[in-house]
Structure formats: C-alpha cells, structure tokens
C-alpha cells in the first residue's frame, strides 16, 4: 500500500479523528501526532471546555479509564440509567386545564380562504355544478353523491358489477338491464372533467 492510501485509510477508519490536527500527543514521552481531542475534566465532555490532543493509542487508554458515573450518588446513577433520562422536562398540557384554553378558531388567519370557503352555501352549489346533467344522472344510477372522487367511483362500480353480473348470481339474468345501466354510467363518469 502506498503511503497516501495508508493515511487516507487511517483518517476514515476512526470516528472522532480531527483531520488536519497539527498538535503532538500530549501524553508524556509520546511523539505521535495528536489527532483526537480528549477533555481534561469529565464535566467538559459535552460542552466547550479544556481539551488536550492525544494519539490513537493514548485516546484509547483515556476512554478505557473514563467513568461517566464518577462522583454521582446511587440515586443519580439510577436516574441517569432510566430509559427516559433527559426527557423528563415539563411540557404544556394539551387538555383544557385552568385558564390555558388554547387559541379560538376565530384567531386563525385564513388568507387564502381555504378553510372557511368549504362552509359557504355558494361553494356547495358550485360543487353541484361540476357535473353535467348526464353526469348527475349517472351519479344517481351509481348511488354516489356529488362529492365522490375517482376512488369512490371505482369502488362503487366494482361493487355493483359484482352484485348484478349473472356469473355472480348463479346465471340469473334478471339484473342484466341494471348491469347495463351501471356500465353505461361508469363509462360516462370515468371521462368526466370532475374526475380528471
């Protein structure tokens, strides 16, 4: 292996290696480059603090000696080992407790009129107008409302074909006329602009 490949492998192999670190290992008598940071005091581990640079061998020794629970009482150790340790902060209750009732609906801004428009009568009338007279008749044959979507149309068509088809009724052809109406209604509705 070439020297550059060995260096590249060493740099990517170990988690925590600081690339471009120019310091020497701070262990007495060590001449290796210090590529890993280690805290001087255990309390400095998670935040800004005093660091020293160590080589791979000495950072392994440092990690082997590190004791997270050093200086804690047995109750503190038990609390730190709890599965919910760190999550036991107070949060706002979502129920209506006391005076904290949450915002009223009138306090919400609806600049595009996306919510309020659904409840106006003229919008409901426009929903009816999205179908032609023939399409409204086909909806009646299928037993669907004006607010049906393509999925409801397919589901209802499948249900009605199973109900009226002679193969599903022991060869009884008395429902053929109704089956023809259902098929014709589906052909009309599947190309309707409202389902595009």
Contacts of 109 (CB under 8 A, 6+ apart): none
Whether the predicted pLDDT of 154 surpasses 90 = yes
Whether the predicted pLDDT of 123 surpasses 70 = no
State both tokens at 125: 């009338």
This prediction has a pTM of: 0.37
Return the DSSP state at 80.
H
Whether the predicted pLDDT of 178 surpasses 60 = yes
- For residue range 80-110, what is the model confidence (pLDDT) as tens digits? 888 777 676 666 665 555 555 666 766 777 7
Of 147, 124, 139, give the one whose Cα is nearest residue 190. Answer: 139
User: Checking phi first, is residue 68 left (phi over 0); if not, alpha (psi -120 to 50) or beta?
Assistant: alpha
């Amino acid at each position: 292996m070439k020297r550059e490949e060995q260096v590249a492998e060493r740099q990517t192999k170990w988690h925590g290696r600081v690339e471009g670190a120019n310091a020497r290992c701070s262990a007495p008598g060590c001449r290796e480059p210090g590529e890993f940071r280690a805290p001087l005091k255990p309390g400095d581990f998670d935040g800004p603090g005093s660091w020293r640079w160590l080589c791979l061998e000495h950072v392994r020794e440092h990690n082997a000696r590190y004791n997270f629970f050093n200086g804690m009482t047995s109750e503190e150790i038990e609390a730190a080992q709890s599965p919910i340790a760190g999550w036991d902060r107070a949060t706002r209750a979502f129920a209506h407790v006391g005076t904290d009732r949450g915002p009223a609906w009138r306090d919400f801004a609806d600049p595009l009129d996306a919510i309020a428009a659904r409840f106006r009568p003229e919008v409901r009338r426009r929903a009816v107008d999205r179908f032609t007279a023939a399409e409204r008749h086909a909806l009646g044959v299928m037993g669907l409302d004006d607010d049906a979507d393509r999925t409801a149309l397919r589901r209802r068509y499948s249900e009605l074909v199973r109900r009226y088809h002679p193969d599903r009724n022991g060869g009884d052809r008395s429902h053929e006329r109704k089956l023809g109406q259902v098929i014709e209604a589906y052909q009309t509705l599947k190309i309707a602009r409202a389902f595009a």
